[in-house]
Chain A
Amino acid sequence: MLLFAIVIVAFAYASVGFGLKGRLPSGLFLYVGAFAVIVLAAHLTVRRFAPYADPLLLPLAALLNGLGVVMTYRLIQAGRNGNPGCNCGTSGTLFVPMSTSATLYQILYTAIGVGCFVGVLALIREPRTLQRYTYTFGAIGVFLIALPALLPSSISAVPGTGAKIQIRLGTFTTQPEEFAKLALAVFFAGYLVAKRDVLALAGRRVLGIDLPRARDLGPILVIWGVSLLLLVSESDIGTSAIFMGLFVAVLYIATSRTSWLLIGFLMFVVGAVVMSKLFSHVGERFDIWLHPYTATNIQDHSFQLVKGLEGLGSGGLLGKGLGAGAPYYTPLAQSDFVFTAFGEELGLAGLMALLLVYGLISERGMRTALLVKDPFSKLLAGGLSFMLALQVFVIVGGVTRLIPLTGITTPFLSQGGSSLISSWIVIALLARLSDTARRPAPRPIQDEGLTQVVRLE
């Protein structure tokens, strides 16, 4: 199956070359070869350290990662080497230009990501060891979130977006929140395993909903406050939504109490509405979501969203073909709007496939959570899977105008290292968890499971 993924990526890459110039792209064997070596290394690691891991996870992740690399290559070519590009800005390539070596970097990040994947599988043999470091991870998570807000704008501001979410040292940039998410997922799981019984105690019952006791509300209030602070100080609505969603989901899984879902959801909505009234940049997000096509918005605030939608419209059912569309008109097509770039060139068919792949990864993760025995592993697997799904929902829903747009990365597809590496760590953790879940049962049923899996593909 991994070979399938590699072949699809190779075809996609060749297709870019044909779409642009009508011939095979240069560097086909170099890029695809390097990619193949990296993911085969990942495969061997799984065979060595987690032989019972869910066999779907790695091929699916590798497929997404490979397509992301291909799209990076395709977008670099916009406006270069005689290929059509955007006449926007001064560069003649993209709104936010990419360096010519971005594909190489992306492959390098893939290597680092897979390296982390290997490292996680090799070092963490038993997921419960993570539980020991619950508070350490909590501290790391909060520190990583707070870091860009505390640093001066010259280091932490993302050019042209007004968001302060990265750390730049020379040419190297990283977005610590991508890793903070993972640390917090571990922290939430560990914390809630310890406290779930306390939180599950019924408080008063109002209107048929079990309200928790006031002091049990403490943690959710703290997380709510942190995510709102993040929202305000770093202009990062999307990530705060994901923290909030992650926490509420893990809380719900731990306590099985619907009231937490309602409370968490209500608090986020109230927070978002209040913020949208208080801060114009938050209110603007709602405005362009509801009225993207008004004369003033279309040329200014909602420009990016509308360009993305135009791209989706131009792609139609089957897409323009890789290399043959015009994704360069959409600002940030390489990161936040990579999904619309795929929609333009691969069409509805391609997007459905991508969403299915994401859906499969998430649901395989949830399945792992169901199978695994120990509560911490359950929470961790459930939290990570839900977080991945939520991240896809927030960004894809945002660029397709299902929900207000918030700029976060699309896992595996967006250009950039932090997101890719952290996504690989998620896959590594899920692989480790699923390996644990399936290991003690080397019975024939396992083989049946494998056969079923093959048939799904």
Chain B
Amino acid sequence: MNRALKRMSVAILVMFLLLMINVNYLQGFDTGKLAALPFNSRTLENQVRYQRGEILTADGKVIAKSVPSNDFYKWQRVYPYRDVYAPVTGFYSLYGATGGIEQADDSVLAGGDSSLAVRNFIDMITGKQRKGANVQTTIVSSVQQAAYDGLQSKLQGTGFMGGVVAIEPSTGKILALASYPSYDPNKLAVHDGKQLNINDAATQGAPGQPRRDHAINDLFPPGSTFKIVTSSAFFNQDGTRNAQTSVASPSQLTFSDTTSVLTNDQGEVCGNGSGQAPIIVAFAQSCDTTFGKIGEDLGTGVLNSTAAAFGMNSDTLTIPMPVTQSNYVQAPGPSTTAFSAIGQYSDTVTPLQEAMFSAAIANGGQLMKPYLVQTITAGDYSKIQETTPSTLGQAVSSQVASEVSQMMQAVVQTQQGTAFGFNQNAEGGVNISGKTGTAQNGVNNSHLDDAVFTAFAPGNGNPKIAVGVILQGGGYGATAAAPIAVQVIKAYLAYLQGNP
């Protein structure tokens, strides 16, 4: 009996040892993982103990703030402009920060970032209530509003999505980041968990996927705007080429590897009908045959490296939100290479990438890294950290940029240009350079065309703004997307007049 008893005491010892090892594991090693569990009430409670920092526009409008709340949580997050800034701010819910600056700069806004440690320590000693740091973005409120309004006027009720991005070419500052359809972040910041789940499901399932940031996280075919890349590659290849260089302009392009042919939109012939035209004319008229031929001659490898120089095929860009990679997929044969050269085949871009095309050309070929956060300020708005512009590299030489720039000017400012018609009526004295795109979509082009427009302004002088617009199902780039770009550009130039 005693032998059995001794064994049982060993069994008891083992049971307690197991418990102790397990508790040691949980509380000694596993705390980080446990703290990061979704819906962790303790982590969330820690965060609502302090007032979260504000998110502001460059012109000082508060687009996200925390106000005292009467319920259990001490602070309520408020987004005064609702849907307009949702892609910029993201939202802060009971589940934590999701999307936008809220998520990307969560630790700064919460006040726990290492860069704030000294300040927090001083606050602790002086007995001041700790407060998260503020994030001042590069967004200009009037430009953002113009971009959002433009998207809304074209897309409301269609179920389609679209995005607009405006960049300052010389620095990479993002002046507008609009996505449509959007959502009201206030509905996801509610403190009632049940209501939150209902609102969450409603916005997740809505047509047009409002919760996605279409401006940086959705891909669309670039259409003819990709001819900026093709022409850049063309000029790169031979330093003697310029905007007046004569290129082949056939009425149709045949290929060795397929029986199908490439024709221009509605079968029209570019230039004067001779089969040859200056490249600037072909660019202004957006001749698919010309650029298909150029692309085929350049080869897919050259197109690929030029596209990469403009920032495509890279998934490392963060603004600070991670940007979805825009793709140029190398084509397997001559025909597919030709199609890839005019923005079809498997080319896909974000609206941000569209803005980056124009920004690089407008900035003498140098592509600046787009960024959204200008300064981080303490609770009393004293500056803690400021972003200095950085470059992503030279997309093209300044010589090439200047040739492409002339051609983009011709698209809008010359009579044969695809965007000239709208330019005459709506431009109102603002000189714009740009490139239209009308991307055919779906099997046998069964979907509605996407309207694409990329532009910078002023086109005759020192460019201040570059814009990329993509409207899914919008139709012609010139009629659907370009007017939005004009409104955005006008809003910014007006802002600059008030704030030089």
Q: Which residues of B have CB within 8 Å of A369?
A: 5
Query: Which of B6, B27, B33, B41 sits near A329, CB closer than 8 Å?
Result: B41
Interface 1/0s, chain A 427-439, versus B by CB < 8 A? 0000000000000
Residues of the A chain whose Cβ atoms lie less than 8 Å from the Cβ of B9: 363, 366-367, 370
- How many A-B pairs have beta carbons closer than 8 Å: the answer is 142
Among B5, B26, B38, chain A packs the most CB atoms within 10 A around the CB of: B5
- Find chain B residues with CB under 8 A from A405 CB: none
In the complex, chain B residues whose CB is within 8 Å of the CB of A385: 12
Q: CA–CA, A66 to B237, complex, Å? A: 86
* A78 nearest CB across to chain B (Å): 12
User: Cβ of B20 < 8 Å from any Cβ of A?
Assistant: yes
Contact (Cβ within 8 A) A370 B5: yes
**Is B3 engaged at the interface, CB distance under 8 Å to the other chain?**
yes
Q: Does A321 contact B (CB under 8 A)?
A: no
Looking at the complex, which one of B8, B11, B40, B191 makes contact with A310 (CB distance below 8 Å)?
A: B40
Contact of B5 with A393 in the complex, beta carbons under 8 Å: no
Q: A307-B41, A312-B34, A390-B15 are in contact. Are A400 and B5 (CB under 8 A)?
A: no
Tell me if A97 counts as interface (CB < 8 A to partner B).
no
The smallest beta-carbon distance between A83 and chain B, in angstroms, is 12
Given A313-B26, A347-B27, A359 and B42 contact (CB-CB distance below 8 Å): no
Q: How large is the interface on B (under 10, 10 to 19, 20 to 34, 35 or more residues)?
A: 35 or more
CA A176 – CA B15 in complex, angstroms? 27
Q: Give A295-322 as 1s and 0s: 1 = Cβ < 8 Å from B's Cβ atoms.
A: 1001100000011011111111100000
A347-372 interface mask toward B, CB cutoff 8 Å, 1 = contact, 0 = none? 11001100100110011001101100
A299 (CB) vs chain B CBs: closest residue = B39
Contact A370–B15 (Cβ < 8 Å): no
Q: Which residues on the B side are within 8 Å of A402 (C-beta)? A: 18-19, 22
List residues of B (33-61) whose CB comes within 8 Å of A's CBs: 33-35, 37-43, 45
B118 contacts A by Cβ under 8 Å: no
The CA of A85 and the CA of B41, in the complex, are separated in Å by: 12
With a cutoff of 8 Å between Cβ atoms, the chain B residues found around residue A382 in the complex are 5, 8
CA–CA, A436 to B410, complex, Å? 109
Is A370 in contact with B20, judged by CB distance below 8 angstroms? Answer: no
221-251 of chain A: CB within 8 A of chain B: 249
Partner among A295, A307, A351, A366 whose Cβ is within 8 Å of the Cβ of B5: A366
CA distance A361 to B134 in the complex (A): 56
Across the interface, which residues of A come within 8 angstroms of B381, CB to CB?
none
List the one stretch of A17-25, A121-129, A205-213, A252-260 in contact with chain B.
A252-260
A366 to B8 Cα, complex, angstroms: 8
Is there a chain A Cβ closer than 8 Å to B24's Cβ?
yes
Q: Considering only CB atoms, which chain A residue lies closest to B12 in the complex?
A: A389
Q: A386 to nearest B CB, angstroms?
A: 6
Whether, in the assembled complex, A61 has its beta carbon less than 8 Å from a beta carbon of chain B, the answer is no
Taking the closest CB of chain A, its distance from the CB of B192, in whole angstroms, is: 9
Which A residue sits closest to B24, measured CB to CB? A348
Contacts of A400 in B (CB 8 A): 19, 22-23, 26
Contacts of B34 in A (CB 8 A): 309-310, 312-314
How far is B12's CA from A253's CA once the two chains are assembled, in angstroms? 14
From A84, A315, A359, contact of B12 by CB (8 A): A359
B22 nearest in chain A by CB position: A402
- B142 smallest CB distance to A (angstroms): 40
- Which of chain A's residues have a CB closer than 8 A to the CB of B122? none
What are some 20 contacts across the A-B interface (CB < 8 A)?
A86-B72, A87-B191, A249-B8, A309-B26, A310-B35, A311-B42, A312-B23, A325-B42, A326-B41, A343-B26, A352-B20, A355-B19, A358-B16, A370-B2, A382-B8, A396-B19, A396-B23, A400-B26, A402-B18, A402-B22
| Chain B residues proximal to chain A, CB less than 8 Å | 1-6, 8-9, 11-13, 15-16, 18-20, 22-24, 26-28, 30-31, 33-35, 37-43, 45, 71-73, 191
6 tightest Cβ-Cβ pairs between the two chains A and B: A313-B34, A87-B72, A348-B27, A366-B9, A329-B41, A314-B42
